A and B are shown apart, each in its own frame.
Chain A
Amino acid sequence: MKLLKLDACVTASNDRDADALRAKTKACGTLLINVMSSPGAGKTTLLSALIRALPQLDIAVMEADIESDVDAKAIEALGARAVQVHTSGMCHMDAGMTTAAFDAIDGPPPDLAFLENVGNLICPAEFDTGAGKNLMILSVPEGDDKPLKYPLMFRESDALVISKLDARPYFDFDLDACMARARKLNPAVRIFPVSAKTGEGMEALVQWLLAETAAWKEA
């Protein structure tokens, strides 16, 4: 028996798969956005509103769920391409699963592909999916203290969407405190308070997506 000193990250194989997927999506001009949130934060509702607001972009959605295809059906009803992924009990998507889902999108590469990760604030943040950008949704009913309780996801996200803004009158949600907590963990994070239902704040998010999609194709 010989001793090998490795000092390797346990998820080294995943990190390699993730870099390969990023190179692939760069080459075909598709910006892949990993969308993370807890269950019920409004991922499908937000994505549906974004698909309607971005008719100039060809959009595909990869729906990762432990079971069912209700989300994929909702997306297809809007005319976008959808791929349903079942994680067979796994609480997150890794880069290998994301690559398989990306390859399953029919037709030419889209401009923008959303990976709707499994609803969970913990594990999805620990695995690099190979996405170009990470977007996290926190909904008003979940509370403004979530950056304190689940710091990793806030640190890993390029954009934070604070959703269900129309529900603010019913909850003690301190928007300024929430934004300050998120920025303390991640000074570079872009924050978009929105209501997908009323349309409030959606324009800023739409403009950010247009700019990021164009930048991904150019650089």
Chain B
Amino acid sequence: MHEMGIVLHLAKTLDETAAEHQLTAIGKVVLQVGEVSGIMTDLFTDCWEYFKGRHPVLKDSTLVIEPIPAVTWCDSCKRTYETVRYGKECPYCHSGETWLLRGNECVIKEIEAE
């Protein structure tokens, strides 16, 4: 259940943002979630629906999750490939010298608020 911990921090970060910008209500929260961030989006949304009621500024908000596809870079053949499909080993040259380029994010992209 690390989704619960992340939702608690998201709510806290948004509360702080609201105080900083003197916002009274947040309408939409756009979250970018990487394909290999380890976050289960269904579970995350359920936790959000439960916790947003505890924060007056968030109670009428909607959460929009934008997935970010995971891409791996191969240091040996200098190509990129889909992480989820091929994993750690490069499908072109079979090297293990590969690094995740993106797909591990969990970022608050933007919010709509008044």
Q: Quick one: which of A3, A5, A13 has the most chain B CB within 10 A?
A: A13
Task: With A14-B9, A148-B88 as known contacts, state yes or no: A6 contacts B2, CB within 8 Å.
Answer: no
Name A residues whose Cβ lies closer than 8 Å to a Cβ of B: 1-14, 89-92, 94, 122-123, 126-127, 148
Interface presence of B16 (CB below 8 A):
yes
Q: Given contacts A6-B109, A6-B111, list 18 more A-B pairs with CB under 8 A.
A: A1-B27, A2-B112, A4-B21, A4-B110, A6-B110, A9-B108, A10-B107, A11-B106, A12-B9, A12-B13, A13-B9, A13-B16, A14-B9, A90-B1, A90-B5, A92-B2, A123-B2, A127-B5
Cα–Cα distance between A11 and B110 once the two chains are bound (Å): 15
A-B contact count (CB 8 A): 74
Q: How large, as a class, is the contact surface on chain B?
A: 20 to 34
Distance to closest chain B CB from A18 (angstroms) = 11
Task: Say whether A10 contacts B88, CB under 8 Å.
Answer: no
Within 8 A of A (CB), among B1-20: 1-2, 4-6, 9-10, 12-13, 16-17
Q: Is the interface of A mostly helix, strand, loop or mixed?
A: mixed
Task: Say whether B114 contacts A3, CB under 8 Å.
Answer: no
Q: Name the A residues within 8 Å of B9 (CB-CB).
A: 10-14, 94
